[in-house]
Amino acid sequence: MLNKTLERYTAITEEKLGQIVKQESGLLQNTVFDSMRYSLFSGGKRIRPALVLGFCSALGGDEKKALPFAAAIELIHTYSLIHDDLPCMDDDDMRRGRPTNHVVYGEATAVLAGDGLLNRAYEAVFSEETVELVGAKTAIEAGRVLAGAAGVYGMIGGQIIDMENEGKESSAETVNRLNELKTGALIKAAAVMGCIAAGANETQIKAAELYASCIGQAFQIIDDILDVVGDAEVFGKPIGSDADNNKTNYVTLYGLEKAREMAFELTQKAKNTLDVFEKPQFLAELADMLYERNK
Amino acid sequence: MLNKTLERYTAITEEKLGQIVKQESGLLQNTVFDSMRYSLFSGGKRIRPALVLGFCSALGGDEKKALPFAAAIELIHTYSLIHDDLPCMDDDDMRRGRPTNHVVYGEATAVLAGDGLLNRAYEAVFSEETVELVGAKTAIEAGRVLAGAAGVYGMIGGQIIDMENEGKESSAETVNRLNELKTGALIKAAAVMGCIAAGANETQIKAAELYASCIGQAFQIIDDILDVVGDAEVFGKPIGSDADNNKTNYVTLYGLEKAREMAFELTQKAKNTLDVFEKPQFLAELADMLYERNK
């Protein structure tokens, strides 16, 4: 069931993304659309959209109403990868087996394509189509969660911390905080936006936050493990990106065995939060799948 | 009256900006706040916020309700200057008499500070405080106008066109389109958001759009004139930035005298749109002030 559902979520998310960031041909600024689409359609696993759609469905909500938010969060994730890859940031030439955006389109266009995707995420939330579909109140609430998670108190804050800890030895507290913000914040926002789209109650939103926080941390731990023992790519991190810069991570902090154990326990804890949902099966299987990368 | 009102608008806008982008000291990502505030409080003329507040007041609206939008548009304007100044873009070392953001904080932090300001603009629109003050419908409508103007069909689109026309001879049509998007779109959004905050009708919004489009174009023409005959800085363009790269502009297209005449006519046309507003004096004087830079 998991793979079929994931495939379907990916298909509807990509259709929506294609509507939000159209192929333009008659505009003087065509290039920026090409550049945005290059990174947007480059084989991302669409895990964040799957969380938005999965939580909405787990609550018996109408997944159509979650779709604009699923697309918006993927737009933001994609912009963050483009800016992260820039020469002045991680200076990565390859991502997902293809040259990075700035390698193909030049740095200036890559900066603007990133800006454009970030801005377009909010255009999608504010759009007449979205507001007609979900109502002004839901659009505002979901937008608030997304913007809070993407900004300087969320993901961007995490990127700053990450940069400043490059090549340093960091405390477990710093590593936790960094991951909580850099990757955790958007994962949590995805879960909560799915809940908001389905009209969830406070208890369900709290459960979703806990689930997301657990799989987010488990994901990061496994990522650190894979940087040591081999690799896979699910959440869109560049392959092996952290392996060679001596950054403190969960493996350097706790060792391989203890790290594996932590990831296992976090995955179980995530699954245990799901009993307040009507149809939790997809989310339980998703947690397992993310853990299984470990093997 | 004009200067007093402008000073007051600047004061309340800057107070609001200071609340939205706080000085943080207890966070691991403090640097990004320092970097955002460095550019945010660097002597900008706050013309766009003045348009938001001025249109709201011209309609007899409650200027408190326009204030979050006045701040949001200034956040977006500021982010665009930081990214524009980057080495990979215009590569400017100085702005408003001070070293540019990346010179002080490094390129990576400057990219993230720009991203942070852009994102923070939408956080401000979505915030509980804003929504309580203006209602969900108004927040959504103003946010839609802002996001549309800031994005790839607006300002970012204009930046791409600008970049691609560097050092080329361009048609009058391209020059118009470029300016319409790069600076005109946000100026128009400012006017329209002020109207939305005051609950304007369609006729008033159309008039505001025409006013903004006229002063936007007049402003650009005068900017091009000043690049030839001397300089001043109002809308935040780097001093003399376009003078030395052989770009086609209004002066190269029409000559000094004709360009001056066009700016004068556009200013008159802007003022003529104002008779549908209750208290148009500030906006009329503002149009004159922007034109007077010419002398």
Sign of torsion over alpha carbons A29, A35, A36, A41 = positive
What is the distance in angstroms between the Cα of A271 and the nearest Cα belonging to chain B? 31
Contact call for residues B249 and B167 (beta carbons, < 8 A): no
Residue of A nearest to B128 (CA): A144
3-state SS class at B1: coil
Residue from A119, A159, A177, A248 to probe the interface with B (highest B Cβ count within 10 Å) = A119
**How many residues are present in chain A?**
295
Average pLDDT over residues B79-87: 98
Q: What residues in B contact A28, CB-CB < 8 Å?
A: 157, 160-161, 164, 174, 177-178
Tokens of A276: 């307040």
What is the distance in angstroms between the Cα of A211 and the nearest Cα belonging to chain B? 25
Considering only CB atoms, B29 lies closest to which of A83, A89, A152, namely A152
pLDDT band at B71 (very low <50, low <70, confident <90, very high): very high
Contact call for residues A204 and A275 (beta carbons, < 8 A): no
Looking at per-residue pLDDT, the higher value among A185 and B235 belongs to A185
Looking at per-residue pLDDT, the higher value among A128 and B169 belongs to A128
Considering only CB atoms, A136 lies closest to which of B120, B140, B163, namely B140
Asked whether the predicted pLDDT for residue B130 surpasses 60, the reply is yes
Residues B77, B79: Cα–Cα separation, whole Å:
6
Looking at per-residue pLDDT, the higher value among B105 and B167 belongs to B105
Residue of B nearest to A115 (CA): B115
Asked whether the predicted pLDDT for residue B152 surpasses 80, the reply is yes
Residue of B nearest to A31 (CA): B160
A177-204 burial by CB neighbour count: b if 16+ within 10 A, else e? Answer: bbbbbbbbbbbbbbbbbbbbbbbbeeeb
> What pLDDT does residue A97 have?
95
Provide DSSP, chain A. Answer: -HHHHHHHHHHHHHHHHHHHS----SSTTHHHHHHHHHHHTS----HHHHHHHHHHHHTT--HHHHHHHHHHHHHHHHHHHHHHHSTTTT--SEETTEE-HHHHH-HHHHHHHHHHHHHHHHHHHHSHHHHHHH-HHHHHHHHHHHHHHHSTTTHHHHHHHHHHHTTS---HHHHHHHHIIIIIHHHHHHHHHHHHHTT--HHHHHHHHHHHHHHHHHHHHHHHHHHHH----SS-PPTTTTTTTT---HHHHH-HHHHHHHHHHHHHHHHHGGGGSS--HHHHHHHHHHHHTT-
Contact call for residues B145 and A22 (beta carbons, < 8 A): no
pLDDT tens-digit series, residues A198-222: 999 999 999 999 999 999 999 999 9
Residue from B22, B23, B29 to probe the interface with A (highest A Cβ count within 10 Å) = B29
Average pLDDT over residues B20-26: 96
Tokens of A141: 């609430």
Q: How far is CA A287 from the centre of its chain?
A: 14
pLDDT tens-digit series, residues A237-280: 544 444 445 689 999 999 999 999 999 999 999 999 999 999 99
What is the distance in angstroms between the Cα of A36 and the nearest Cα belonging to chain B? 10
Q: For strands B98-99 and B94-95, give the pairing.
A: antiparallel
Average pLDDT over residues A45-49: 97
Contact call for residues A230 and A212 (beta carbons, < 8 A): no
pLDDT band at B234 (very low <50, low <70, confident <90, very high): low
Asked whether the predicted pLDDT for residue B238 surpasses 50, the reply is no
pLDDT band at B101 (very low <50, low <70, confident <90, very high): very high
Count CB atoms within 10 A of the CB of residue A252: 15
Residues B196, B61: Cα–Cα separation, whole Å:
9
Residues A110, B20: Cα–Cα separation, whole Å:
28
Burial class of residue B268, CB neighbours in 10 A (0-12, 13-18, 19+): middle
Give the CA distances from residue A167 to residues A24, A89, A176, A242, in Å, rounded to whole numbers and listed in that order.
42, 14, 17, 10
Q: What residues in A contact B116, CB-CB < 8 Å?
A: 151-152, 156
Burial class of residue A7, CB neighbours in 10 A (0-12, 13-18, 19+): exposed
Asked whether the predicted pLDDT for residue B294 surpasses 90, the reply is no
Residues B285, B6: Cα–Cα separation, whole Å:
11
pLDDT tens-digit series, residues A27-36: 999 999 999 9
Residues A44, A78: Cα–Cα separation, whole Å:
9
> What pLDDT does residue B240 have?
44
Q: Which of B259, B286, B254 is nearest to B270 (CA)?
A: B286
Looking at per-residue pLDDT, the higher value among A99 and A228 belongs to A99
Residue of A nearest to B126 (CA): A144
Q: What residues in A contact B164, CB-CB < 8 Å?
A: 28, 31
> What pLDDT does residue A295 have?
65
What is the distance in angstroms between the Cα of A127 and the nearest Cα belonging to chain B? 6
Q: What are phi and psi of B235, to 5 degrees?
A: -85, 10
Q: What residues in A contact B81, CB-CB < 8 Å?
A: none
Asked whether the predicted pLDDT for residue B245 surpasses 80, the reply is no
pTM, two decimals, is: 0.95
Mean pLDDT across chain A: 94
Please, what is the angle between helix A202-229 and helix A281-292, to 10°?
Answer: 20
Considering only CB atoms, A161 lies closest to which of B29, B114, B120, namely B29
Tokens of B137: 């419908």
Q: What residues in A contact B176, CB-CB < 8 Å?
A: none
Q: What residues in A contact B139, CB-CB < 8 Å?
A: 136, 140
Residue of B nearest to A152 (CA): B116
pLDDT band at A167 (very low <50, low <70, confident <90, very high): confident
3-state SS class at B200: coil
Contact call for residues B70 and B49 (beta carbons, < 8 A): yes
Percent of chain A with pLDDT over 90: 89
Sign of torsion over alpha carbons B286, B288, B290, B293 = negative
What is the distance in angstroms between the Cα of B268 and the nearest Cα belonging to chain A? 30
pLDDT tens-digit series, residues A101-118: 999 999 999 999 999 999
> What pLDDT does residue A168 have?
87
Contact call for residues A109 and A31 (beta carbons, < 8 A): yes
What is the distance in angstroms between the Cα of B64 and the nearest Cα belonging to chain A? 20
